[in-house]
Structure 1
């Protein structure tokens, strides 16, 4: 495996491979890799001639400087894991390779999908995500890029960014990778106490119960009320639960078989913010 730290060396190298007709799969990450990341990398390896994984903790998507500082960094272990599964290239840039001094995130107009849910609670977050992913796409110039549906709203943002920036890449959503107990894998899970780690599967259990209620004919409002009441009696602090369509991410009043819908949840286990979602 080859590790690149400069896009000026990575980009022409990848361009030469593409001139030879090779396909390039890409997985952008912020490191602290887990089995969910590795499942995406394995999909890329299976579907492309070469696979690139980037490891970059992006400063422009953090609202809280303390969160940026606390974000786990495990580069040595990350590279070891990627080598073991057969990833071809890693892009491990310093901030200066992607951002000019003093540069801030580009401000996008995403027609409201960036203002709801995570966008409401983390203003400017998605501008930072879209800015860095656009930079990474231009550095790597991949054929396909892989993203986990745990961050479903982020996938919709990236799909819209690709249209606006006219970047020639196929965005490939992948199902949420869960532990055997149902907990959606996340780098943040590293920070859970053993007690909270044991209790955290409760979130997915409630999501499955919510889908069961929908299948019994309950309305979105009734399902949302059930989730709120269930969390009120738990050790978790519910930040939000909403049910939206998958396209515009707007709340729905009724379930309609012609419209794909998804329930989105954020809850705190201690001081760790956990996100998850489920299709209805």
Structure 2
């Protein structure tokens, strides 16, 4: 595996082969990231991974400064996973000038759920992802479904800008107790780590109970109860909700009766650590 840090080096390496598969990350890699690399390898394409902690998608009171930077370890893991090329730019290389041109996502999608709790987050995500797509010009890009709203937003961006690449989504990778793997799990104390799988259990319960909901009012009551029960365990929920998979809007009564495809989504703080998860149902 080659490691490059500049755009010029990246493009020189990319010219050696064609039809690359891109795995964008912010580093501090875990088994979920490595599963993305494995999925990219299944495409029979050379794999380029990026590691860049993107300031634009962090809010003013979020964890940009303390987000773990573990590049030597990450590079070793990527090499062992069969990655062909690692692009690890610093901030000056990624944004040599102030990034005043931004991607403004549709607020109907980017302004709800994560976007409502973290204003500007998806603008930062869309901007850096678009920039990576222009730098790498991959044939495929692989993203995890744990960031469900992000994946849907990126799919829409690619479609609306007619970008010549396919977005591949991969199911969430979990620990044995059901906790979705995340770089932020490392913030959890031992006691918090033991409690953390309760978020997935809350979503499982919500998804199961929703099968008996025939109206939006009944669904709202289930969501309220799920959030209250999680809060009673010491969490601070931002949302626990069931939405339509296609646009993450609440289902209507007719859709509930017809069995529309739904996804249960949750975000909550456990101590200072904010965790997200989802389950298609």
Shorter chain as normaliser: what TM range? over 0.9
TM-score calculated relative to the size of structure 1: 0.93
Question: Which sections of structure 2, spanning at least 5 residues, go unmatched?
Answer: none
Kindly indicate whether the alpha-carbon contact (under 8 Å) linking 1:11 and 1:141 is maintained by their aligned counterparts in 2.
no
SS of residue in 2 equivalent to 1:113 = helix
Question: Which sections of structure 1, spanning at least 5 residues, go unmatched?
Answer: none
Q: What's the offset of the Cα at 1:237? A: 1.3
For the structure 1 residues 205 and 258, does the alpha-carbon distance in structure 2 shift closer, same or farther, using more than 3 Å as the test?
closer
For the structure 1 residues 177 and 257, does the alpha-carbon distance in structure 2 shift closer, same or farther, using more than 3 Å as the test?
farther
* Partner in structure 1 of residue 135 of structure 2: 139
* Partner in structure 2 of residue 74 of structure 1: 70
SS of residue in 2 equivalent to 1:67 = coil
Q: Provide the alpha-carbon RMSD of the alignment.
A: 1.7
Kindly indicate whether the alpha-carbon contact (under 8 Å) linking 1:60 and 1:128 is maintained by their aligned counterparts in 2.
yes
* Partner in structure 2 of residue 234 of structure 1: 233
Instruction: Measure the CA separation in 2 of the matches of 1:176 and 1:256.
Output: 28
SS of residue in 2 equivalent to 1:150 = coil
* Partner in structure 2 of residue 30 of structure 1: 26
Instruction: Measure the CA separation in 2 of the matches of 1:48 and 1:4.
Output: 22
Instruction: Measure the CA separation in 1 of the matches of 2:122 and 2:213.
Output: 35
Kindly indicate whether the alpha-carbon contact (under 8 Å) linking 1:15 and 1:141 is maintained by their aligned counterparts in 2.
no
- 1:87 partnered with 2:83: yes
SS of residue in 2 equivalent to 1:229 = helix
For the structure 1 residues 185 and 245, does the alpha-carbon distance in structure 2 shift closer, same or farther, using more than 3 Å as the test?
same
- 1:208 partnered with 2:204: yes
- 1:185 partnered with 2:184: no
Q: What's the offset of the Cα at 1:17? A: 1.4
TM-score calculated relative to the size of structure 2: 0.92
SS of residue in 2 equivalent to 1:71 = coil
For the structure 1 residues 126 and 256, does the alpha-carbon distance in structure 2 shift closer, same or farther, using more than 3 Å as the test?
farther
SS of residue in 2 equivalent to 1:70 = coil
Instruction: Measure the CA separation in 1 of the matches of 2:258 and 2:140.
Output: 30
